[in-house]
Structure 1
Amino acid sequence: MKPLTEREIRAAFVNCTKGQAKRLFVPHDLDERPWDDLDFLGWRDPQAPDRAYLVAELDGRPAALALRSSGGGSWQSRRSMCSVCLTTHTGGVSLMVAAKAGKAGQQGNSVGVYMCSDLACPLYVRGKKDAGIGARLPESLTLEEKVERTVAHLAAFVAKVTAEAPPRG
């Protein structure tokens, strides 16, 4: 993923108003992020733990989503699998819910995906971050194929967020 500025990130939000995008928390350490290892940038709001955000480059353009997180975390005692990167965690997977873009979101429609609570999927896939023993199941896929699968899963979620509702008929 190419490095993004705070301005580019704020302009890329597709499921919130420009005013909301202007006020939301964006990390201040963008220049220190491992951009070469990221297929998307995800972060949590330190002041509001139930809020999370991600920005991905899709079709050559950044698309950012504002997310709400289920509690997730330490109360979960069984292992759960992230639907994006297929990493399993004990207490490290949360339901991330995004309001749909446009009129559908204004009407309260949303979509969700079970995702790594820390939104570090690209780092888990590449082995740059460890989720513990048994977190990554053995696979015969190459790293490139695993990355492509992760990007495809995320793109499918973003497509659900940005999809227009079918006309009623």
Structure 2
Amino acid sequence: MRPLTEQDIRNSFVNCTKGEAKRLAIPRDLDQRPWDDLDFLGWRDPGAPDRSYLVAEHDNRPVGVTLRFPSVRRGLLHRSLCSLCLTTHPGSGVSLMTARKAGAAGREGNSVGVYMCADLACSLYVRGKKVPESGSRFEETLTQEEQIARTVGNLSSFLRKLYE
């Protein structure tokens, strides 16, 4: 992913107002992010425990999405699978993230959801740069490049649903 500035990020949001995008908490460490290892920039809002944000390249431009997720904690014996990177996590490591749709559909209250890593670190899990709490990922016959392409494809599919 190409490095983004704070202004790039604020201008990218498609499912909130310009005022909301202006007020949301942007990470302060943008210059320290591992941009070459990211398929998307994702972060949680430190002031709103049920809110997170995601910015990804989609149709050759950055697209930002506000996401909400439940604050319900699952037991440690429960395991879930991220639908983007296919990493399994115990407990609350995977969460249903919902996004208000873009445009008129979103203003009418329509939304889409995706089960994804609660820490939004899918890119790092696929590349082996971060290890899930469970200690490992499933062994796959796909190469790392194919797994990355699958993750990007799954994310693109989710982002397309914002406009349907």
- Global fold match (TM > 0.5): yes
Q: Does the CA contact (< 8 Å) of 2:90 and 2:134 recur in 1?
A: no
Number of the residue aligned with 1:158? 159
1:13 corresponds to 2:48: no
1:76 deviation in Å?
5.3
Number of the residue aligned with 1:85? 85
1:71 deviation in Å?
1.9
Distance of 1:96 and 1:16 partners within structure 2? 15
User: For residue 81 of structure 1, what is the amino acid of its counterpart?
Assistant: L
User: For residue 153 of structure 1, what is the amino acid of its counterpart?
Assistant: N
SS at match of 1:48: coil
Distance of 1:133 and 1:105 partners within structure 2? 36
Distance of 2:105 and 2:43 partners within structure 1? 25
Distance of 1:73 and 1:47 partners within structure 2? 18
Identify unmatched segments of 5+ residues in structure 1.
164-169
User: For residue 55 of structure 2, what is the amino acid of its counterpart?
Assistant: V
Number of the residue aligned with 1:99? 100
The alignment of Structure 1 onto Structure 2 pairs a total of residues equal to 163
Greater Cα shift, 71-80 or 54-63: 71-80
- Please provide the CA RMSD for this pair: 1.3
1:77 deviation in Å?
3.1
Number of the residue aligned with 2:127? 126
TM-score (norm 2): 0.95
1:61 corresponds to 2:61: yes
Q: Does the CA contact (< 8 Å) of 1:72 and 1:94 recur in 2?
A: no
Q: Does the CA contact (< 8 Å) of 1:95 and 1:113 recur in 2?
A: yes
Q: Does the CA contact (< 8 Å) of 2:80 and 2:90 recur in 1?
A: yes
Q: Does the CA contact (< 8 Å) of 2:123 and 2:148 recur in 1?
A: yes
1:109 deviation in Å?
0.4
1:162 deviation in Å?
2.0
Q: Does the CA contact (< 8 Å) of 2:38 and 2:123 recur in 1?
A: yes
Identify unmatched segments of 5+ residues in structure 2.
none
SS at match of 2:25: coil
- Spell out, residue by residue over 1:14-47, the C-alpha distance to the aligned partner (whole angstroms, 9 max, x if none): 0001011000111010000000000000000011
